[in-house]
Amino acid sequence: MTKSDLTHLDPTGAANMVDVSAKPVTERTAVATGHVVMQAETLETILAGDAHKGDVIGTARIAGIMAAKRTHELIPLCHPIGLSKVVVDIEADEALPGLRVTATTKVAERTGVEMEALTAVSVACLTIYDMAKAIDRGMTIGDIRLLEKTGGQSGAWRAQS
């Protein structure tokens, strides 16, 4: 890969927002995932609704949705886009033990929604940590990644398992 392959760099190497005005509007989706690993007792406390700060899962879901809508304010070269759908699912996984977060984003636009899905997952995981850190500061956030995307010039893409 060369500098010229990177769409956010001009010929001199300076960062620039990509001009998407000539691209056609297409329906685009993205799915991202991540997880928060914690002590089994912490997971039990969260699932019982006994965390001191309140509803950890509900609050993290709302935080993820809000973050997806503000991605362009957090990631410098992202375009502001009018999301048509954001879903943040949070499920307990006793094998971790912890919570798995999945975000699905959708838009009809000239640019993709991968960063919005990844931002939703990241902020939801951070919110879980924030709300449960009083009982488990050793939690870890990990494996945040894109699972799949559809639409646009490059078409569909799915991560290898």
How many C-beta neighbours within 10 Å does residue 129 have? 18
| Fold of domain 23-151 | Alpha-Beta Plaits (3.30.70)
HSE of 114 in the Cβ direction (CA atoms, 13 Å)? 17
For the entire predicted model, the pTM comes to 0.91
Average predicted confidence (pLDDT) for the chain: 93
58-90 pLDDT per residue, tens: 999 999 999 999 999 999 999 999 999 999 999
Q: Which of 19, 89, 130, 136 is catalytic?
A: 130
Q: Could you give the CA distance from residue 33 to residue 132 in angstroms, rounded to a whole number?
A: 20
Concerning whether 130 is annotated as a catalytic residue, the answer is yes
Parse the chain into domains and list their residue ranges.
Answer: 23-151
Strands 140-150 and 157-158: antiparallel
The pLDDT of residue 3 is 44
